[in-house]
């Protein structure tokens, strides 16, 4: 997300294209140039019968952006299938290849996200050869597919269900729908120490325990119960009418107005629940 004044520097947009496939046993290794449109990569994998990223259908942007954000949706994260990331190291003036353990992957983050040292040039994925999805982990997606959590379903059915769910939340770009004019989910779901989650549990907040003992809860639930309904906004910006986590430009909005709305929401949630929401997008030449 960029300030209304723009960025006082040079912006490089990678347009590199290309995808190299190597079959290895029961899997394939996919080398994807950073400039490849991400959803085209997913669509090809589904069509070819390569399983592992089907739940990441419909996510906009380029393949090179996926490790930066460690993009995830409907129970999958790109870090689960990344075998390597080739980057240009600006400090060393050299190309280098980083293994997943060197990428600092976490929930919607990586070592690349808030640093300008590395430029992602290529992403190497390891996928299974199968016409069935990876086990469905996300209850909402399982319900949409009419299966149980843990089941595997045809890849094309998974992709279709994900795209339908995303469209219903305004997460597939439609020039006639201002609910789609956003950077996606503006806040990440808070991850809290188990000891600090008790008051939220008592209030009925959703809880997803993590192996390390922390608990992830729903930012949308917190926002709504802090008094911010879908459609709430002013000055040309508003919460999406379809998805509480999306802050949208209704056609005349500015970055400054959207950040003011985000600050109001963050302050309201902190006052009501004692939880400080964290923005998911990188803020360029501006701050929350």
Residue-wise pLDDT for 169-208, tens only, equals 999 888 999 999 999 999 999 999 998 898 999 999 999 9
The residues near 202 (Cβ < 8 Å, ≥ 6 apart) are none
Q: What whole-number distance in Å separates Cα of residue 207 and Cα of residue 275? A: 14
Q: Where would I find the H helices in 17-89?
A: 38-48, 66-69
To the nearest whole percent, how much of the chain has pLDDT over 70?
A: 100
Task: Copy the structure tokens of residue 156.
Answer: 């094309």
| Segments making up each domain of the chain, as ranges | 19-168, 178-273
Q: pTM to 2 decimals?
A: 0.91
Q: Rounded CA gap, 120 and 95, in Å? A: 10
- CATH class in words for 19-168: alpha beta
- pLDDT of 81 reads 98
CA distance 146 to 266: 36
| Residues in contact with 142: Cβ distance below 8 Å, sequence separation at least 6, in sequence order | 136, 148, 149, 151
What span, in angstroms and rounded, lies between the C-alpha atoms of 21 and 66?
A: 19
- Cα-Cα end-to-end distance for the chain: 11
User: What is the pLDDT, as a whole number, of residue 224?
Assistant: 97
Instruction: Determine the pLDDT at residue 77.
Output: 97
Element (H, E) at 139: helix 139-145
Measured in degrees and rounded to the nearest 5, phi and psi for residue 47 equal: -65, -35
Give per-residue pLDDT as tens, 62-113.
999 999 999 999 999 999 999 999 999 999 999 999 999 999 999 999 999 9
Among the listed residues 163, 194, 178, the one whose alpha carbon sits nearest the alpha carbon of residue 231? 178
Distance CA 282, CA 70 (A): 13
Residue 24 has pLDDT above 90, yes or no: no
What's the average model confidence in pLDDT over 109-119?
Answer: 94
User: Distance between CA atoms of 285 and 269, rounded to whole angstroms?
Assistant: 25
Residues annotated catalytic, as ranges: 108, 185, 280
Q: Which of 285, 235, 279 is nearest to 261 (CA)?
A: 235
Question: Would you state the CATH architecture of domain 178-273?
Answer: Alpha-Beta Complex (3.90)
At 38, the pLDDT band (50, 70, 90 cuts) reads very high
**Three-state helix/strand/coil letters over 174-217:** CCCCHHHCCCCECECCCEEEHHHCHHHHHHCCCCEECCCCEEEC
């Amino acid at each position: 997300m960029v300030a209304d004044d723009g960025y006082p520097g040079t912006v490089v947009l990678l347009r590199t294209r290309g995808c190299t496939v190597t079959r290895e046993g029961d899997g394939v290794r996919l080398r994807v140039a950073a400039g490849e449109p991400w959803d085209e990569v997913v669509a090809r994998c589904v069509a070819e019968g390569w399983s592992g990223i089907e739940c990441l259908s419909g996510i906009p942007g380029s393949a090179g952006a996926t490790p930066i954000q460690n993009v995830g949706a409907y129970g999958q994260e790109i870090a689960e299938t990344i075998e390597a990331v080739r980057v240009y190291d600006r400090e060393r003036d050299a190309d280098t290849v980083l293994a997943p353990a060197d990428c600092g992957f976490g929930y919607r983050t990586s070592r690349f996200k808030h640093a300008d040292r590395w430029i992602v040039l290529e992403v190497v994925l390891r996928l299974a050869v199968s016409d069935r999805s990876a086990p469905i982990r996300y209850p909402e997606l399982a319900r949409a597919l009419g299966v149980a959590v843990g089941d595997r379903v045809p890849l094309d059915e998974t992709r279709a269900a994900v795209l339908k769910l995303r469209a219903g939340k305004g997460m597939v770009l439609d020039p006639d729908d201002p609910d789609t004019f956003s950077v996606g989910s503006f806040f990440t779901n808070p991850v809290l120490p188990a000891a600090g989650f008790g008051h939220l549990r008592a209030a009925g907040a959703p809880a997803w325990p993590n192996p390390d003992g922390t608990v992830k809860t729903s930012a949308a639930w917190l926002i709504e119960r802090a008094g911010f309904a879908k459609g709430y906004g002013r000055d040309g910006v508003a919460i999406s009418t379809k998805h509480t986590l999306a802050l949208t430009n209704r056609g005349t909005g500015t970055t400054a107005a959207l950040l003011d709305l985000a600050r109001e929401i963050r302050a309201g949630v902190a006052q009501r629940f004692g939880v400080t929401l964290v923005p998911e997008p990188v803020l360029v030449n501006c701050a929350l």
